[in-house]
Structures are given as C-alpha cells and as structure tokens.
C-alpha cells in the first residue's frame, strides 16, 4: 500500500508505476526490467519518444494505461464467510468466530473465491479485519 500511496502523492506528472507479482529485488534487477526503466527515463528526462510502459501488472505483462488505477477499474467489496470458507458478495447474516490454537499445526485460516470468467486485479488492495490473539500480545497476518 505504501508504494501506491507514494506514487499517488508524487507531484510530478512524469511518474511511472511498475508492479511485480513475484519477488521485488530479483525482478527489479532483471535485465528486461532495467531496460524498461531506462526507456522511462529516456522518455521523460531526454524527451526520447519510445514505447515506455505506463502500467504493468499481475501475470499479464505490458498492460498499458494512461493512469493508475485505470478508469476501467470496478471496485468490488467481498466479505469473509466463516461458515463456508468463501469470499462472498454480501455480508453474511450469521456471525461466526474462527478459532484455532496457535500451538497446533497448521496455524492459519483462509478464504477462497472462484470467478465464473477471467478477472484481473488492478487497483488498491484493501482489507479490514477484526482479530484477537488470546493469550498472546502479537501475531503475523499475511493477506
């Protein structure tokens, strides 16, 4: 989220956002990605007309757009359903707490969603969680 916030707040109109879907540093130093960054600097610093990317993301490469997030993004709220283990479109009328012992294995819970057609995730990821770790003063959360 910090990367997106920083990009939004950069006052220059000459900015570029490259999003990696794997490990940041190996991708950053990859030869092809270095060439793309050079195209960006050539385009904006030296006024060299080229095909520098405006947006690249996910497992689809070279997605070009004039702004981020795209005007075509449709934001969608999804809700956890603790009974089914799914992400659903509407909040459940039933409330259920998911409990597990941090001493047991595996120590996690997850929720799934299946789309009926191809979907892309472009935009700002957000999550709102209510959690408690009874008997402990911290926890790790991966979203």
Residues with Cβ within 8 Å of 143's Cβ and at least 6 positions away in sequence, in order, are 125, 127, 129
The predicted-structure confidence for 101-111, as pLDDT tens digits, reads as follows 777 776 777 88
pLDDT at 55 over 50: no
Among candidates 127, 139, 125, which has minimal Cα distance to 21?
Answer: 125
Angle among Cα 65, 60, 15 to the nearest 5 degrees reads 35
Query: How confident is the prediction for the chain on average, in pLDDT?
Result: 78
Tokens of 58: 């996910």
- Binning the chain into helix, strand and coil, the percentages to the nearest 5 are 20, 10, 70
Higher pLDDT, 73 or 64: 73
Nearest CA to 98 among 127, 126, 129?
A: 129
List CB contacts of 78: < 8 A, sequence separation 6 or more.
87, 88, 89, 113
Separation CA 121–CA 123 (nearest Å): 7
- Rounded Cα distance, 74 and 42, in Å: 33
Domains of the chain, residue spans: 2-56, 73-143
pLDDT digits (tens, 9 = 90+) for 38-53: 888 888 888 888 877 5
């Amino acid at each position: 989220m910090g990367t997106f916030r920083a990009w939004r707040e950069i006052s220059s109109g000459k900015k570029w956002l490259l999003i990696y879907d794997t490990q940041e540093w190996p991708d950053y130093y990859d030869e092809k990605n270095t060439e793309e960054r050079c195209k960006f600097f050539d385009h904006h610093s030296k006024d060299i007309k080229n095909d520098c990317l405006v947006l690249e993301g996910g497992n689809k490469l070279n997605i070009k757009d004039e702004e981020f997030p795209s005007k075509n993004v449709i934001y969608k709220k999804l809700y956890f359903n603790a009974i089914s283990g799914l992400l659903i479109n509407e909040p459940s009328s039933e409330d259920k707490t998911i409990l597990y012992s941090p001493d047991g294995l595996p120590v996690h819970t997850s929720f799934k969603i299946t789309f009926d057609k191809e979907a892309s995730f472009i935009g700002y990821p957000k999550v709102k969680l209510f959690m408690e770790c009874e008997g402990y003063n911290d926890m790790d959360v991966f979203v």
